[in-house]
Structure 1
């Protein structure tokens, strides 16, 4: 199967599951509309695809990864809603469409984000025919640690405080390792846990892979913020520059930033050296992260 076909297959699968989880919930109409608007607005679905790819790499049943993939996308969608709010990045455009607080209102956007966050953990805690309670608990803990004050939220706080200030390379990498990398790393690890066949050595190798692509993803984002096209990006080109945010090109220069992305790409592939052909999608995703144009 080609990379495009494989990604499309997993995207369609998580979308069908997300539709089921949202439609089966008893939600007030405006809240439901805002949650659906922000969840189904053309996202790349990178994190759910990573869940499925890691499960596949270890020979797991994709049905075991279904709730994990849906839950991580709920967390990602919530984080973007809140990230776009006037109190944060104050963005009007997300994936080529008005952001949630523009399409609805600020209060609805906050509540939609809150609801998606809690829905993620509701999904993961439902009885499963494919995950035993110990694996379920490990997966829930992995997502909680990656999402909160030890992961994504901590990174967002550093990002908020850092606007207009000068960070060194180590501080910048720490910020993005939390804000972007933590959820990417959790996606890979949770997919591996869902497979039921991961050894500790394999989990550590997958952590190294995920750390590398997580950082590469952010480096490429920073590059695209300078060189990308708003129509392709789906968000305002130059937004980070306008907010005076520290970025890899501003700190390292554009050419060195591109070298950094290439080095991280190679590190990700090296981390998968002991995996067989079942890990081909993980390898292709590492390629995609540094080659994408949006």
Structure 2
């Protein structure tokens, strides 16, 4: 991702003025830039060490090419923040945080393929299949998906086996037909159709995009052995920010440039996809995303300072420019 664009996103997020309970939360938003910078550096260092190039070199190089291509690292950071809110540590959450980014990267590699959304750029770089060919890109995605689960099992320390099992089950549920795959199938099926209603659109995006965001938050809490009440609050928080994230993505596809996005702008319109702005308009879409974020933050208001990172991250979702 373009560094200047990322800095601008953070500056924009600092301008958000929350309502109600949020004198404390405004302070968290003010510190978001430093928090994200620190967590990004930690995640990047862990990802750098996660895959070593060995024989056959091409597949490992292809995996690393997309995994280390940059990005906001939002999913790993959500996992770390959720684990810490639940009484856990960064160390116990980092393997799962890395696995989440591996799975997310797999979804991007496959999504960019000609048979899917067919894009030439991702995170400001040529997409995997443009560099390594479609065959290797497919295999790189497959390898990252499988390795993600191995990475959790092998590298997680200080986490009871039962909690790791819950994490693996949650992640698998988020990826298969109940999550990313199911959402992608419906997304492809409805391309070019103009009679898609908001309920169908919500189903597509709560699965294609929201499922992994929800898993990122919930898995962090599961690692720490969070209470059922906290898990339910975090699930509701995550579902709201997940849908808000996609609404803003739809808006940015129209309003941002290819340079800002790091991928081709205007793809949704070109593919004749029904999006939230096509149903509601841009301003109403932004308003709906903001309402979802406010609902998400309300779920964690009772935790005050300990929830500041997650509350600030919710604001960042609607303020981002890529």
* Smaller-chain TM-score bracket: over 0.9
Q: Deviations over 1:234-269 (max 9, x none)?
A: 111111110111100001122211111111111111
Q: Deviations over 1:41-93 (max 9, x none)?
A: 12110000000110121221111101110100000000000000000011011
Does 1 or 2 have the higher relative contact order (CA < 8 Å, sep 6+)? 2
Q: Deviations over 1:212-240 (max 9, x none)?
A: 10000000000001111111111111111
| Paired position in structure 2 for 1:204 | 232
Residue of structure 1 aligned with 2:223, choices 194, 197, 201: 194
Q: Superposition pairs for residues 86-101 of structure 1, below 5 Å?
A: 86-101=114-129
Is residue 92 of structure 2 the alignment partner of residue 64 of structure 1? Answer: yes
Is residue 134 of structure 2 the alignment partner of residue 120 of structure 1? Answer: no
Rounded Cα–Cα distance in structure 1 between residues aligned with 2:155 and 2:252: 42
The answer on whether the counterparts of 1:228 and 1:293 sit within 8 Å (CA) in structure 2 is: yes
Report the RMSD for the aligned CA atoms in angstroms.
1.3
Residue of structure 2 aligned with 1:47, choices 75, 95, 105: 75
Q: CA deviation at 1:287?
A: 0.5
| Paired position in structure 2 for 1:273 | 301
Runs of 4+ residues over 6 Å off in structure 1: none
| Paired position in structure 1 for 2:177 | 149
Is residue 241 of structure 2 the alignment partner of residue 174 of structure 1? Answer: no
Aligned residue for 2:303, secondary structure, equals coil
Q: Unaligned regions of 5+ residues in structure 1, if any?
A: none
Residue of structure 2 aligned with 1:136, choices 147, 160, 164: 164
| Paired position in structure 2 for 1:19 | 48
Q: Which moved more, 1:246-255 or 1:83-92?
A: 246-255
Q: CA deviation at 1:281?
A: 0.5
TM-score in terms of structure 1 length: 0.96
Q: Superposition pairs for residues 104-115 of structure 1, below 5 Å?
A: 104-115=132-143
TM-score in terms of structure 2 length: 0.88
The answer on whether the counterparts of 1:222 and 1:249 sit within 8 Å (CA) in structure 2 is: yes
**Residues matched between the structures, number:** 292
Q: CA deviation at 1:128?
A: 3.7
Rounded Cα–Cα distance in structure 1 between residues aligned with 2:60 and 2:67: 10
Q: CA deviation at 1:276?
A: 2.7
Q: CA deviation at 1:11?
A: 1.6
Rounded Cα–Cα distance in structure 2 between residues aligned with 1:127 and 1:78: 20
Cα 1:82–1:127 shift into 2, 3 Å? closer
Q: Which moved more, 1:14-23 or 1:278-287?
A: 14-23
The answer on whether the counterparts of 1:39 and 1:77 sit within 8 Å (CA) in structure 2 is: yes
Rounded Cα–Cα distance in structure 2 between residues aligned with 1:202 and 1:22: 34
Q: CA deviation at 1:26?
A: 4.4
Q: CA deviation at 1:279?
A: 1.1
Cα 1:80–1:280 shift into 2, 3 Å? same
The answer on whether the counterparts of 2:257 and 2:265 sit within 8 Å (CA) in structure 1 is: yes
Rounded Cα–Cα distance in structure 1 between residues aligned with 2:130 and 2:120: 6
